[in-house]
Amino acid sequence: MTFQGWLLIAAFAGILLLLCKPMGQWLFALYEGRRTPLHRLLGPVETGFYRLSGIDPNEEQGWRRYAVHMLIFNAALALFTYAILRLQGVLPLNPLGYDGTSADLAFNTTISFTANTNWQSYGGESTMSNLSQMLGLTIHNFLSAATGIALAFALFRGFARRELKTIGNFWADMTRVTLYLLLPLCIAIAIFYIASGVPQTLAASVDVTTLEGAKQTLALGPVASQEAIKLLGTNGGGFFNVNSAHPFENPTALTNLVQMLSIFAIGVGLTWTFGKAVGNTRQGWAILAAMMTLFLAGAAITYWQEAAGNPVLHDLGAMGGNMEGKEVRFGIAQSALFAVVTTAASCGAVNAMHDSFTAIGGLIPLFNMQLGEVVIGGVGAGIYGFLLFAILAIFVAGLMVGRTPEYVGKKIEAREVKLAVLAIAVLPLVILGFTAIASVTGAGLAGPLNKGPHGFSEILYAFTSAVANNGSAFAGLSANTPFYNGMLGAAMWVGRFFIIVPMLAIAGGLAAKKYTPATAGSFPTTGLLWTGLLIGIVLIVGGLTFLPSLALGPIADHLAMINGQLF
Amino acid sequence: MNKDLISSLRPAFVMTLLFAALLGIAYPLALTGIGQALFPTQANGSLVRESGRVIGSTIVGQAFVSERYFNTRPSAAGEGYDGLASSGSNLGPASRALATRVKDDVARLSGTSPGQPVPADLVTTSASGLDPHISPEAAFFQVDRVARVRGLDPAAVRRLVDRNVERPLMGFLGEPRVNVFKLNRRLDAFGAKPAA
């Protein structure tokens, strides 16, 4: 560990705190449907889109209608991408002449990008045409992110509105977030990436004769445009197989910092937006404090373990931190921090190979996802997931003081708690259930590259990543098989939409409730006590279920590693 | 519920097509135009040409395995530095395959530069398999060998390496590093002149 490394982590956290309020204010303007300076330029596009598709943006929707419209839109997007992937062989912009992908790969990839997971069973540069990357995949990066933010807005309205049956208009929320937030930011960030060395061309590859006289073919493409939204929308699907570790995706330490900030920027801003929406920004800061505490603890542990290195390699004379699967330009600190950021949010981009992290260094990314990615979390998904935990936390607090719990002016009753538990229970059920199936079947056991406990970790990581809609991998797992494509595809779908629907039901129910002003007997939800309770509930309810599986995987792996037991 | 479903169909399909045109076609093509106009070198991969041929990219690594050159890190991309198959080794911390590979590499490198500790990055594969850099320690480690094979003065080669060390931005952003392609090009130019 170095002073510079800790300085990096501190600087990163500091910049995030500075970004929180301006980002939150911009999001609040979109939440309210206010006019922004960008309306002059993009307003006609927005109204044109509504007119062509027959949408009245002022129509207020109840939670069921909001949910159905969101689901059907996502289904239509999925169909569109499935068709592109299957037909890429006969479509234009396919300079390397790739065939259409197999049915199971197209199924997996389509769900993966629709569900904001971006799990990649394929190697981008060796499978996807430029058209597939642009038209099939980039649009999901925008729209699954916009969907997530729209859903968070819907839940905010549930808390903020009084005795109303409606929670907003899905089309208006989704379109405004795309046009006035994601698109302009991505254009600016993509230009910065291009200037830093990220390619943006329609050429697919270039042949190189190296200084030693060997042949090397470098894959190229429209990388920067996809890179910008990949991180800002916490999607994580890279243009290349190795994602943000590839020098063309992430060429410098500065692009790396911008990528990490992009992953967290909107998620952090949404905590402020929530506070503003419910009339007290301290409500948002309390949530952010809990999130940042969990994040910094994880970052510190992973950085410490990766810097300490692998004793197996030390014994062989390769001293220092663990550089297997890491790039020299990022070193230990930026690789460890990126791994924790990408799994705390539901991004899943990687700039180092998590599979080759030390056992405990790799446990933290895994655990971050198992908590449901509520530590900042994916855009929209992080805050709505966290608010489900807040409902449980206030319920527990209510049990302790013996009165009906209230949160930001709304009584939390049996219906809310049941639905919150239902949404939260999806995660362990599917992760552990599917991992168990894969661990005892031939098709499942054919997947892992590594033997011993690390092989189990690879399977556990894959299903955790899929259900939590992260998309990062212990990439040694050979996942492009009908078994894994199918199982992981199902896991991603359940992990996204089986949480969203109960969440919207909560939003609808809350919106209809009366406002209950806080009294002397209300549990305060702005102070340190509340922040501590939130952290406790996230760790106990979210994390405890997974301890046995972590003992079988990373913890056994750690004991093997420090005792020199090889597999 | 049925009414909600039917009312969603037109917006869902029309919005899919409209957004596909905006985000899937207009956005990447506009950026391609901007990139090609403003930053043509970077937008095309930061390529270096010599007598008409592309000899490398300044930001993507290429394989250097000969004793005449500063060597790059081991690579798990295809057969090594395959630009169409980026990959890490994905070997876990207690992997026998990893330990065996590192053991062999340490033994080989100790043979070429006896008595010096082997830098970790020279015996570990990178995340991408296309790492353009090595650590300054890994470059200095190879100075004596390169100087011997090329018949150059080791002190002069050491100075060359020293001039090619890139420092972290603002002192903490990034790591000290040496771009192997750039270093080896300067080494070739340097070796072409009579040894000082």
Task: Indicate the residue of B38, B88, B106 with minimum beta-carbon distance to A475.
Answer: B88
Residue A534, by phi and psi: left (phi above 0), alpha (psi -120 to 50) or beta?
A: alpha
pTM of the model: 0.96
**B115 shares a domain with B26:** no
Nearest CA among A175, A382, A436, A565 for reference residue B93: A565
Sign of torsion, CA B169 B173 B175 B178? negative
Stretch A163-185: mean pLDDT: 97
Instruction: Please answer yes or no on whether B44 and A220 come within 8 Å at the CB atom.
Output: yes
Stretch A61-76: mean pLDDT: 96
Residue A63, by phi and psi: left (phi above 0), alpha (psi -120 to 50) or beta?
A: alpha
* Beta partners for residue B49, in sequence order: B54
**Per-residue model confidence (pLDDT) at position B194:** 44
B196: in domain = no
Question: pLDDT for A309-364, tens place per residue?
Answer: 999 999 999 988 999 999 999 999 999 999 999 999 989 999 999 999 999 999 99
From chain B, the residues in CB contact with A217 under 8 A are 82-84
Instruction: Please answer yes or no on whether B130 and A246 come within 8 Å at the CB atom.
Output: yes
**Per-residue model confidence (pLDDT) at position B192:** 60
**B163 shares a domain with B183:** yes
Share of chain A above pLDDT 70, in %: 100
Contacts across the A-B interface (CB distance below 8 Å): 385
Instruction: Please answer yes or no on whether B7 and A69 come within 8 Å at the CB atom.
Output: yes
B195: in domain = no
Q: What is the 3-state secondary structure (H, E, C) of A111-160?
A: HHHHCCCCCCCCCHHHHCCHHHHHHHHHHHHHHHHHHHHHHHHHHHHHHH
Chain A residues 181-220 within an 8 A CB cutoff of chain B: 183, 186-187, 190-191, 194-203, 205-212, 214, 216-220
From chain B, the residues in CB contact with A175 under 8 A are 15
Question: pLDDT for B110-139, tens place per residue?
Answer: 988 888 899 999 999 999 999 999 999 999
Distance CA A315, CA A324 (A): 15
From chain A, the residues in CB contact with B9 under 8 A are 72
Structure token digits, residue A159: 């808390």
Distance CA A455, CA A567 (A): 10
**B73 shares a domain with B24:** no
**Per-residue model confidence (pLDDT) at position B196:** 39
Question: pLDDT for A434-467, tens place per residue?
Answer: 999 999 999 999 999 999 999 999 999 999 999 9
Q: pLDDT at residue A393 above 50?
A: yes
Nearest CA among A292, A454, A462, A433 for reference residue A369: A462
Residue showing tokens 């990436």: A193
Chain A residues 436-465 within an 8 A CB cutoff of chain B: 449-454, 457
- DSSP code per residue over A340-364: HHHHHTT----SS-GGGS-HHHHHH
B180: in domain = yes
> Testing the interface with A: which of B1, B6, B8 to mutate, by most A Cβ within 10 A?
B8
**Per-residue model confidence (pLDDT) at position A119:** 87
Question: Within 13 Å, how many C-alpha atoms sit on residue A539's CB side?
Answer: 14
**B34 shares a domain with B52:** no
**B51 shares a domain with B33:** no
Asked if A70 contacts A170 with a C-beta cutoff of 8 angstroms, the reply is: yes
B194: in domain = no
Q: pLDDT at residue A547 above 70?
A: yes
Q: Is B49 helix (H, G, I), strand (E, B) or coil?
A: strand
Asked if B10 contacts A54 with a C-beta cutoff of 8 angstroms, the reply is: yes
Task: Indicate the residue of B11, B93, B125 with minimum beta-carbon distance to A55.
Answer: B11
Task: Indicate the residue of A77, A186, A566 with minimum beta-carbon distance to B94.
Answer: A566
In this prediction, residue A401 has a pLDDT band, given cuts at 50, 70 and 90, of confident
**B50 shares a domain with B35:** no
> Testing the interface with A: which of B3, B5, B31, B64 to mutate, by most A Cβ within 10 A?
B31
Residues spanned by the domain of B27: 2-42
Task: Indicate the residue of A52, A253, A449 with minimum beta-carbon distance to B168.
Answer: A253
In this prediction, residue B195 has a pLDDT band, given cuts at 50, 70 and 90, of very low
Question: pLDDT for A186-197, tens place per residue?
Answer: 999 999 999 999
Stretch A125-132: mean pLDDT: 87
A140 touches chain B (CB under 8 A): no
**B30 shares a domain with B51:** no
B176: how many CB neighbours lie within 10 A of its CB? 14
Asked if A384 contacts A510 with a C-beta cutoff of 8 angstroms, the reply is: no
A232 touches chain B (CB under 8 A): no
**B64 shares a domain with B19:** no
Report how many domains make up chain B: 2
Q: pLDDT at residue B42 above 70?
A: yes
From chain A, the residues in CB contact with B5 under 8 A are 68, 72
Structure token digits, residue B105: 């590499």
A117 touches chain B (CB under 8 A): no
**Per-residue model confidence (pLDDT) at position A115:** 87
**B52 shares a domain with B37:** no
B185: in domain = yes
From chain A, the residues in CB contact with B136 under 8 A are none
Question: pLDDT for B135-159, tens place per residue?
Answer: 999 999 999 999 999 999 999 999 9
From chain A, the residues in CB contact with B181 under 8 A are 211
**B6 shares a domain with B71:** no
**B119 shares a domain with B23:** no
**B113 shares a domain with B34:** no
Nearest CA among A365, A559, A323 for reference residue B127: A323
Asked if B176 contacts B135 with a C-beta cutoff of 8 angstroms, the reply is: yes
